[in-house]
Amino acid sequence: MIELQHVTKRYPDGTEAVKDLSFTAPTGQITALVGPSGCGKTTTLRMINRLIEPTEGTILLDGDDVTRQDKVALRRRIGYVIQSAGLMPHKRVLANITTVPRLMGVKKAECEARARELLDLVGLDQSFADRFPAQLSGGQSQRVGVARALAADPPFMLMDEPFSAVDPIVRQQLQQEFLALQKRVAKTIVLVTHDIAEALLLGDQIVVLGQAAAIEQQGTPYELLSNPANEFVSDFLGRSRGYQALGFEQAGDLPLQPGPVVRASDLGRADPRRWTLILDDGGRPAGWQRGTEHRAAIAAIRFPAESLRVCLDSALAGPSGLGVAVDADGVFRGTFRLGDVLAQAAFDSQPWEGPQ
């Protein structure tokens, strides 16, 4: 867990980049910091690994104050991925990945074996091991950057716009691979982006920042989309092209899941701890049930859906972030996840440059 408590950063020239910022990044989750250019995202991130010292406030890593720790030891616990990947140009890929563990005194052979595993993990062929950074594409450099950040197996990761330097198709691929990777490694991650669609896709939790890193809203993607706290946030959501593209994009590949669903006659078999869709005798959705709670309203949509936008509305209307798909006769076909709708929309996302 990473905790920021009333953190302020004033640069020597008087610029107040971050003012009284407090938030918690829970263990094993991705916290996405999102906000317009210049709002203090990078400053916030670099205070966590002490590349920048806060003017006021406290930052705790699993309860330990970062200022009481040796900087070098601290940075070994925190992987850091930056936009341009930040690879050392004169060193080959393998040497780039093994730098930190080598400094920590891990044997060369051991480091290299681990680096080769990491190449696999980030989706790079072994033949890349001997290349120099200049011989890599933007996407490949980012993958090496992620591998390098993971090399010392740190419990924490800070990622500053890690996917912004690549074209949209590569970005989407990297985002999906990153999510799959995080499922396996479960690091405590703070990820910075100015792309709300990316934050919605990757964040378990999102912190929307305004000027001087003032928190405009903090919550899950579902909470933000279903209940934006103020105009700043809805403006932010609305201006994201990825979000707008939902209105035009076909929901062709949206994966449907068979449940959670029960027949009304089998209600007793529903798990009382989670929302389950009830079907009537004709197999049509009749409501949501969790224990003794019931919701009659279901925003079922006919599938294949005309656009991702209607899928989004359906997923937001459900009590659990699940949309409901039916066929032309209104018979249940499956449920779909909010995250999957967003994953398709994120394909077209563009950075947002601030309120206009």
Least Cβ distance, residue 160 to Mg ion (angstroms):
6
Are the C-beta atoms of 222 and 237 separated by less than 8 Å?
no
The answer to whether residues 28 and 188 touch, using CB atoms and an 8 Å cutoff, is yes
| Minimum gap (Å) between residue 38 Cβ and ligand ATP | 4
112 sits in which H/E element: helix 108-121
Among 22, 27, 37, 67, binds ligand ATP (CB under 6 A): 37
Among 35, 39, 42, 188, which residue interacts with Mg ion (rule: CB under 5 A)? 42
63: left (phi over 0), alpha (psi -120 to 50) or beta: left
Total residues contacting ligand ATP by CB under 6 A comes to 12
Q: Which is nearer to ligand ATP, 213 or 322 (CB)?
A: 213
Q: Using CB under 6 A, which of 7, 21, 42, 142 touches ligand ATP?
A: 42
Residue 40 binds to ligand ATP (criterion: CB under 6 A): yes
Question: Considering the complex, what minimum distance in angstroms separates the CB of residue 160 from ligand ATP?
Answer: 7
Which residue in the shown chain puts its C-beta closest to Mg ion?
A: 42
Cα–Cα distance between 146 and 82 in angstroms, integer?
A: 9
Using CB under 6 A as the binding rule, whether residue 283 contacts ligand ATP is answered as: no
Question: Tokens representing 314?
Answer: 């359906």
How many Cα atoms sit within 13 Å of 35 on the Cβ side? 22
The span from the CA of 60 to the CA of 47, in Å, is 11
Residue 175 binding partner per list Mg ion, ligand ATP, none, with a CB distance cut-off of 5 to 8 Å that depends on partner kind = none
- Of the candidate residues 2, 4, 7, 17, the single one contacting ligand ATP (CB under 6 A): 17
> Cβ of residue 72: shortest distance to ligand ATP, in angstroms?
22
- Kind of pairing between the strands at 300-302 and 332-337: unpaired
351 lies in the site for ligand ATP, by CB under 6 A? no
Task: Note whether 244 binds Mg ion by CB under 5 A.
Answer: no
39 touches ligand ATP by CB under 6 A:
yes
Q: Are strands 188-193 and 156-160 parallel, antiparallel or unpaired?
A: parallel
- Beta-carbon contacts of 231 under 8 Å, excluding residues fewer than 6 positions away, are none
43 binds Mg ion (CB under 5 A): no
First to last CA, the chain: 35
Window of 9-17, 104-112, 214-222, 239-247 that interacts with ligand ATP by CB under 6 A:
9-17
Query: Could you write out the three-class secondary structure of 93-111?
Result: HHHHHHHHHHHCCCCHHHH
13 lines the binding site for ligand ATP (CB under 6 A): yes
Q: Residue 267 has what DSSP assignment?
A: G
* Minimum CB–partner distance for residue 41 and Mg ion (Å): 5
Of 11 and 248, the one with the shorter C-beta distance to ligand ATP is: 11
- Which segment (41-49, 112-120, 121-129, 169-177) binds ligand ATP by CB under 6 A? 41-49
Q: Which of 313, 349, 354 is nearest to 240 (CA)?
A: 349
Token digits for 246? 């939902």
Contacting residues toward ligand ATP, per CB under 6 A: 11, 13, 15, 17, 37-43, 194
Contacting residues toward Mg ion, per CB under 5 A: 42
